[in-house]
Amino acid sequence: VNMSATEDVTTTEDVKTTEDVKIAEEKQLFVAKPANRVSVSRRRPISFYLERAKKILREEETVIVSGLGQVMVTACNLVEMLKNQKIAVINKINTSTETAATNDSTYSRPTTKIEFELGRGEFAKFVSDYHQRKVVEVFEQIDKERTGQMKKSDVFELKMDENFYANEEQKQEAIDFLSKHQSEHLSLPEFIEYSSILIHPLLKDKVFKTVLREKYGVQTDEN
């Protein structure tokens, strides 16, 4: 029996165990992928739905935003905010009426529903709000003289792909992005775009903040 050959054999159980470990690690780092729909209600503030829509559009080409009855106005306001921030563009608008069965087997009065199909706007794939402010702080730590420029060599030294747990697809996209820029410097907007490629939209906020504190010395709230 060739002992060296048998020692190199990888069993199905080994593969399963490795895959289980990978899945477990991903659950520690990333939130579950949300449905490609935002159904506005009274239960949460509009800021919740705004953040959710932004997160979806960083990953998906389109998102459906809907509102029923009195929250139609909130749904319209949400869409207007996304448009004004150039996060989304309107592809389609549909209106309809819905009825719901009641306990006595009758139906409620028809309620008007509005539904928007939104596509990606100019800034849909960029980190935004809190995440963007913190990316700017990382940039400013390097650009201490406030020139608005960062050397590519400094960008590489930040190791954002490694620190933010980017996958292979993200890493390749980031490499392609840098290769298209002939200059040896990145402007702040370009650095935000580069960072947006490597910071996955489903990365947990807790992980994002931990990386900022431990790898870049950027202060964050603890939550």
- Dump pLDDT digits (tens) for 117-153: 999 999 999 999 999 999 999 999 999 999 999 999 9
Give alpha helix (H) positions in 71-167: 72-84, 129-142, 152-158, 160-163
How far from 37 is each of 31, 63, 97, 196, CA to CA, in Å?
Answer: 16, 6, 19, 22
Let me know if 87 is exposed, middle or buried by CB neighbors in 10 A (0-12, 13-18, 19+): buried
- Measure Cα distances from 55 to 25, 52, 139, 164 in Å: 21, 5, 23, 16
Residue 9 has pLDDT above 80, yes or no: no
37-68 residue pLDDT tens: 999 999 999 999 999 999 999 999 999 999 99
Q: Is the pTM of this model over 0.75?
A: yes
Q: Select the more confidently predicted residue: 106 or 95.
A: 95
Confidence class of residue 5 from pLDDT cuts 50, 70 and 90? very low
Alpha-carbon span 174 to 195, nearest angstrom: 8
Instruction: Please report, for residues 7, 102, 133, 189, the alpha-carbon distance to residue 212 in angstroms, rounded to integers and kept in the order given.
Output: 42, 51, 12, 19
